[in-house]
Structure 1
């Protein structure tokens, strides 16, 4: 019996050793994304893009002579779930993490990754305060809300609107953008006739829409996310209220039109980095063709593409640092990565981890539900 137990232990040791050796033969990169919940289309797009890019990179030899393994955790688009997802990723041997989409969700994970010095590259998190905390291992391929706030104020001025209602949802991203736009609009002489929040996740917004209508604005700036924006547009149409709406970049998702319906969505303006099809880099064109061939669709939004850029930048950081050491990767991204040819254009990071350069554009939804780039 004793000999049998010793043999079993030895076999288990060989099995464990085999797994460890196998794990050491790959470079693991984490992906934290909302694969479920109200932002699931974004998360699924992120996963598809990162997995395709990993497949393509592995076909070219991977990184540091090893194949890349993508390790994915679902954050559910919820800060509470995100902290658990982040904790799980820190135990799975990843050398860095891509994601996530929402600013408040990213914020719930930042300190967890920072504590273990894991580089994190967020893709859809634009809240200003995310890069004001002094985290040395945090980066983002998305722009900041102060840049978006300036673009919102400039767009409202160019469109000739004087009386503005601002509606947000109290999330880190939406409240921050609303505050930024509010100050800038007042500075340029616009009259802010309404400033309040809705509760995300509800199904009936007629009460808040009635309050908005009573303020008699020329335009409504909604700084929340696409599920609520779609409902607002649909219910606004049901009220026969014709006021134009302008959304922030979190309304940039094809599901907005599905929720609102084409007729209600027509005329909706929003701010965003360029749509995937409007990206003008050769790498982007080639990748989109590969993505469509593999998945028979285009990515749901630019945010999923920015997760792809995060993956590419992480690989460039590992290759440039010639190491999977987190401090060396972060140092390379801060100091040595300059004008990296991302799918969304050149990428460099400043000392805070913010992406440098202006990337916002103005879009308008046409009668067919297409997002059309505007020249204002």
Structure 2
């Protein structure tokens, strides 16, 4: 028995340097809940990037380990996930999808001096708080709202119904869109209200919207509700066009709505995965498909991959995992970093610089088609 215990102690002693040579990066993502497909793609992309990096020697000569916590797409769960990650010796955290969910974790990470790089949290106010360690690889709501206002103007719509879901992302985008519509055109917002996310029957709000006689609906919430709205709108015989914000960019929308109801739906988004412009992005997507026998469902998981690349690039550039040094590098020295969705730089408050929204439309086959690239 003594020999066994001595052998076990020796193994623990030998394993300690290996642990010391590991850099842990957290991933906070919706692994369960209505946004689970986003979170699972986030995990798969970040895992593959870490494997590829480790095969090349890691970062600072150390192996990168991904530590995943499920936020379930819920602010309360996100706060608990953040607390768990904060005690797991992570150098930084990627995530998450959803502005209200990311916001629930912001102050926790800031209190622990842990860098958080969000990939799908576009609410303006997230970077207006003066937090030292918050960044995002996705653009802001106000950029999206201006594109929406100009797109609606160019399409000739004059009476617009705006529907949101009262989350910080959706309400902020709705408010910005209403403001910019008034600035760029003579169009009128004839309806402005909210639904309750997670509900299944939207006939009441659809009936109220229909009574306002809009010639287009702008929905600023998420894809599960958008899919139901499209399906129930068709079932009630109302063929008014509908445009969604970037949170409707997910192929599950077509599955929820059905191809017939989804056909013709417009949405705003950074380039979807199949439209990414670089050879590096195409090579990575081919490797992803080979490993997982699928492609990422939306751009938001790919933006989690860009968050990973930004973090490890900044750690390498700063020569340290010290969060203050890494955050400073990200703000002041990380310029035009090649990434899956294009080049990335951050401004002084942690916003990504220079990304551009596009307008997509769902075709009769359920595919997402770029309009006027």
TM-score of the superposed pair, with normalisation by structure 2: 0.97
Question: Which consecutive residues of structure 2, in runs of 5 or more, have no partner in the other structure?
Answer: none
- Cα RMSD for the two superposed structures: 1.7
After the TM superposition, which residues 118-133 of structure 1 pair with which residues of structure 2 at under 5 Å, given as runs? 118-133=114-129
Shift of 1:186: 1.8
Equivalent residue in structure 1 for 2:34, among 24, 38, 41: 38
C-alpha separation in 2, matches of 1:147 and 1:42: 22
Q: Distance in 1 between matches of 2:355 and 2:307?
A: 17
In structure 2, the partner of 1:349 is 346
Deviation for aligned residue 1:21: 3.4
Of 234, 237, 247, the residue aligned with 1:237 is: 234
Specify which of 279, 282, 285 is matched with residue 279 of structure 2: 282
User: CA shift at 1:358, angstroms?
Assistant: 3.2
Does the residue aligned with 2:64 lie in a helix, a strand or coil?
strand
**SS of aligned partner of 1:22:** helix
Q: Quote the residue 1:93 is aligned against.
A: 89
Deviations 1:203-226 (A, max 9, x none): 110010000111100100000000
Equivalent positions of 1:11-26 (< 5 A) are 20-26=16-22
Q: 2:330 aligns with which of 330, 333, 337?
A: 333
Distance 1:331 1:156 in 2: 39
**Secondary structure, aligned partner of 1:97:** strand
How far apart are 1:22 and its partner, in Å?
3.2
Aligned to 2:208: 211
- Cα pair distance change 1:12/1:80, threshold 3 Å: farther
Report matched runs for 1:1-376 at 5 Å.
Answer: 20-187=16-183, 188-375=185-372
Deviations 1:258-292 (A, max 9, x none): 00000000000000000001001111011011001
Distance across 2 between alignment mates of 1:6 and 1:115: 45
- Give the distance between the partners of 2:118 and 2:216, measured in 1 at CA: 31
Could you tell me how far 1:6 is from its partner in structure 2?
A: 11
Structure 1 residue 141: Cα displacement: 0.3
C-alpha distance after superposition, 1:63-115 (max 9, x if no partner): 00011100110110000000000010011111001110000000000000001
Residue 9 of structure 1 and its aligned partner are, at CA, apart by 9.4
The 3-state SS of whatever aligns with 1:362 is strand
Cα deviation 1:2-23 (Å, max 9, x = unaligned): xxx9999988876765554332
Instruction: Give, in whole Å, the separation in 1 of the partners of 2:225 and 2:175.
Output: 19
1:181 & 1:302 partners in 2: Cα distance? Answer: 22
Structure 1 stretch displaced more, 179-188 or 229-238: 179-188
Task: Figure out how many residues of one structure are paired with residues of the other and give that number.
Answer: 372
Pair 1:18–1:328, CA change in 2 (3 A): same
User: In structure 1, what is the Cα distance between the partners aligned to 2:14 and 2:27?
Assistant: 25
Question: For 2:324 and 2:108, how far apart are their aligned partners in 1?
Answer: 16
The list of structure 1 runs, each at least 4 consecutive aligned residues, that deviate by more than 4 angstroms after superposition, is: 5-20
